[in-house]
Structure 1
Amino acid sequence: MNIPLVDLKAQYKSIKNYADNKVNEVLSSASYIMGKDVIEFEKEAQDYLGVKHAISVGNGTDALVVALMALGIGKGDEVITTPFTFFATAESISFIGATPVFVDVEKDTYNIDPSKIEEKITEKTKAIMPVHIFGQPAKMDEIKKIAKKHKLKVIEDAAQAFGSEYKGKKVGSIGDVGCFSFFPTKNLGCAGDGGMITTSDDNIATIVKALRTHGSGENGQKAYNLLNNINEEVKISEDHDDTVYNPLKYYNYLIGFNTRLDTIQAALLRVKMNYIDEWNKIRRENARIYDENLKDTSLTLPVTIDEGKSVYNMYVVQSNDREKFVNRLKEKGISTGIYYPVPMHLQKVYKNLGYKEGDMPVAEYLSHRTFAIPVFPELTNEQKEYIIYSIKEIDK
């Protein structure tokens, strides 16, 4: 039996007719940039997440970069974040000229440890960027309390956590800004790159909308006025087509990006939005089955806080003998993934920051022990039973 870590073919097969029809509709419409499906997807996402604005962008990394810039963070500033995450989290901070300041994580949830944040705050600190890692919500109340005390912004990296909840609120709606990725392997993924920025702050939304399209057009002018305290009415034009010709895009007000979600990707995401709650529910059920059947093994299983509701983008376990499990599972046809083999503070690119081994003991401990097993919603009962049986056999 061969079981991939993520089975995108099985997911596509389950929605093939619906997805194909939506893609064909976009192709027939010839409205490929900022088309109707982009606008509708943004509306559906903001309603689902409980935010005032959901602004799609080209990918999850751009979402982080644009969000940071929209908050006015840049050269000389510091942003506190986790070392146990994908590189884009720290990279986005560095890209805008700021410095990532790493805070160690919790051994059970893998998320940033709020009790260690305050000691890292300096006069240069401008924001905290928690990551809802593997779909597990971070302890947002504690993080927001610290941020409020020190007048810091909170940027949620929710790239792996679409639909995850903290105290009944969807992640991405709790901080000042939320950032999502729709990379194909995410629990809500498109057929390429895609991302989104969420906020309930009108001014931040305006600046984000301007930055994603070269700082041009009405949003560019509005953002320019906001940033320069200019009070004037901006004329809004509704009769333009971004795919063919929009005369307003030749009037630029900010240095921005070209980071838009393609209409085809938005159409596919709209299809998947109809299934996301059910898929997330199945992921949680698969995790529960693993929890129940693997609790007596030598593996340390993932933990979700009582206030949280994970979407289990990945089911990540710990082992003192990771290499044995990974290799033996591979022999049995079961794919795994190691997340993350090198924590951010020990990446060579950050050597200049002066971190050394031992500075983030928990993240370093996890980097030698964690690996993911398949948890995707299309797993069959036979596949789950085989995974559980195989792990128990290896554990003897």
Structure 2
Amino acid sequence: MTAGLLPAPEDRSADQGVRVSRSHHAARKVEVTSPKGTRTWSASALTDHGLPSAARRAYEGAAEAMAATDPSCQLPWTLLAGVGRVESDHGRYGGSVLGENGVSHPLIIGVALNGAGPVAAIRDTDNGRLDRDTVWDRAVGPMQFIPSTWAGAARDGDGDGVESPNDIDDAALAAAAYLCSGSGSVLSESAMSAAIYRYNASDEYVALVMAMEEGYRTGVFIMPVSVTAEPSPDRAGNKGRPGRGHQNDGRKPGSGATSSTKPHGTPGGKPNQDDPSGPPPSGGGGNDDGGTPTPEPKPPKKPPKKPPAPATEKKVGTLAPCGATWCLDGWTLDLGGEATLAKAAAHDYNHNEVAGETNQQELDGLSGAKVSVVVSFGTATVLEIEGLPYP
């Protein structure tokens, strides 16, 4: 969910009590390509990690809220901080300033999602109300929500009665719910990787967010494995010296993101490439007079497998009737239509221990309550209600 090249913010790390890893190779960079665009992170942009108090308050508050509504997720606030850093530099992308009220000035609005290059094609879904574009959708706010996604993910994180993707309190809580929409804890490396990929389908994005999360958790920021290194001037033309190669980020070699990605839907660009530099082959030059033969080049390492797309996702919100069906925080659920709702319920979803109720009556008993549902991934088709199979 990126929108362009972040300017390197001033170094505020000393005020935040974090240590910063510095790279002496200024050409190192990480290029993040996703369906919402491309952003290139240079070494200089990665060495400053100031965290505004309003942003930290939002991330910690959202994590606490998820601990109450979905404790099995075990969402750390540092994961939200990693997402917020990569998405918008905590609401400061493009020179914006994050106010104490959690709103950036000027507002942060991404590129038009018009299908150009790797950018997804998403025609306007909100009549320009959020993104000020009546032709195409654009990612909005510090956590870069697309209006069509915000329609189902919206939350009121600060209790002011307004759900706004431009308010980092609301956006952080919505992002928290989205990251926890899988099943179980996100603390393992594989589960966290899958949660981030679900948020933004880009391998480079996953690697960078995980590196940032580790930095906010440990106080030490290290560039992720997937980097592009360009020769510095003092090495230009010197093919006898090895290049810098990949810098390890503290995880096992090969973990994290691959160096290229297939766009799924956010602002885009060129896929990252592996470092072309490396040690020269040993031995002679493959001559015909019995010299040492040139060794066969080693096959490139296979990139780690992309986490499989989840089959289901969990939604938590307030259940309320809407028309002939039901909605969860305003998001319309697919419950099978009136015929299914009129059938005898197979389970006691509302736990009132009354036998013989229909699905409709069971839902009536849950109206206005916080309810957990599991839907088929990417759809509104309900598969479980309160941990019980539906219908």
TM-score category of the 2 structures, normalised to the smaller one:
under 0.3
Tell me which of the two structures has the higher relative contact order, counting C-alpha pairs closer than 8 angstroms and 6 or more residues apart: 1
Q: Give the greater-gyration-radius structure (CA).
A: 2
Q: What is the TM-score of this pair, normalised by structure 2?
A: 0.27
